[in-house]
Structure 1
C-alpha cells in the first residue's frame, strides 16, 4: 500500500470498527475508493460503503462517519446512516446539504437517517454526482454543529458494496 494511503486506510478501519464493533475478522475489504471504503460481512450477511467525516479541531463526542449498507436477507439496499460528531438535542433539527439541495433528516443521540425511502433514494443519487455533503444539527449542549464528507469515490464504493452482496443470501 502506498505510504500516502496508509492514514486514509487506518481511518477507514477505525470507522469500520465503530460501525460494526468488535473484531473485523469476518469482514472482507472490497476496495478503497478515495476516502471511501467498501466491505462485506458474509456472516450477517451485509455489505457497506463507509467514510469518516473530514477532520475538525472542534470537540467531538463520537467519531463521525457515513455508511451506506445493504442487507440481502432483509431486501434492504443502499440504506444511508450518519454517525455525527456530537450528541444532539432532544427533537433536533438535522439538515443535510448536498448538490445544492437540503434534506431534513431524522435521528437522535449521535445518529441520523433520511426521513423515508424517497429521501434515501434522492440522497444516494445526489451522492453519485456531488463533490461534498454536510450535515448540521442542534447539539445537546446548545449551538449547531456540523460534519462534512468529500464524495470522491463514494459512487464506486457504493457500487462495490452492492456487487459484493449480489450473491449473498
Structure 2
C-alpha cells in the first residue's frame, strides 16, 4: 500500500488541472463547442486571413450563465485594427458594423448579437473586414458550416451546468 501511495498522490496532482480545463462538447463541421467552469462557447478559425493568421484569429459565440450573457459574438482579428477604422461583418449579403478595439471586435449590443447569430445560422460564409494599424485591408473569412450546431451545443452545455 505504501508503494502505491506516491502514485495515487501524483495522479491526483495531474488530475486536478485537467478537471479545471475546457471540456469538448463536439466538433461540428468547421466549428467546435467547449464548456469551461463558468462559460461555454462555439469557436472557429478563419479559412482565409489577410496574412496567415499571425495573431490567432477566431470567431466565437459565448454563454456566461452567471453573467446573464447568451449568444455573445466575439472576433479576434488577425491584425490589430487602426484606431477609428470601422469593423464590418458580412454574412452572405448582410452587413453589420461591429464595435472594436485593438485586435478584438464584437456586436454593439445584445440585440445585434441575436441578429448576427440568426444570420450565421442561415449563412454560408462570413467575413470580418477592417484596416490594420498600417492602413492595409484586413479580411478574415469563415465558413459557417457547423456554426449553428456548435452554437446549440454550447448553449445546451451551459444550460446543463446551471
Interval of TM-score (by shorter of Structure 1 and Structure 2): 0.7 to 0.9
SS in structure 2 at match of 1:166? helix
Corresponding residue for residue 14 of structure 2: none
2:157 aligned to 155, 159, 164, which one? 164
The runs of 5 or more residues in structure 1 that have no matched partner are: 1-22
Q: Size of the alignment, in residue pairs?
A: 146
Q: Indicate the residue corresponding to 2:57 in structure 1.
A: 64
Q: Is 1:126 aligned to 2:119, yes or no?
A: yes
Unaligned runs of 5+ in 2: 1-17
Aligned: 1:101 with 2:94: yes
TM-score normalised per structure 2: 0.84
Tell whether 2:85 aligns with 1:92.
yes
Deviation of 1:64 after TM superposition, in Å, equals 0.8
Root mean square deviation, CA, Å = 1.9
> Post-superposition, which runs of at least 4 consecutive aligned residues in structure 1 deviate over 6 A?
none
- In the TM superposition, what are the counterparts of 1:48-59 in structure 2 within 5 Å? 48-56=41-49, 58=51
Which entry has the higher C-alpha Rg, 1 or 2?
2
Deviations 1:39-90 (A, max 9, x none): 011xx31110000011447264411101101011111111100001001111
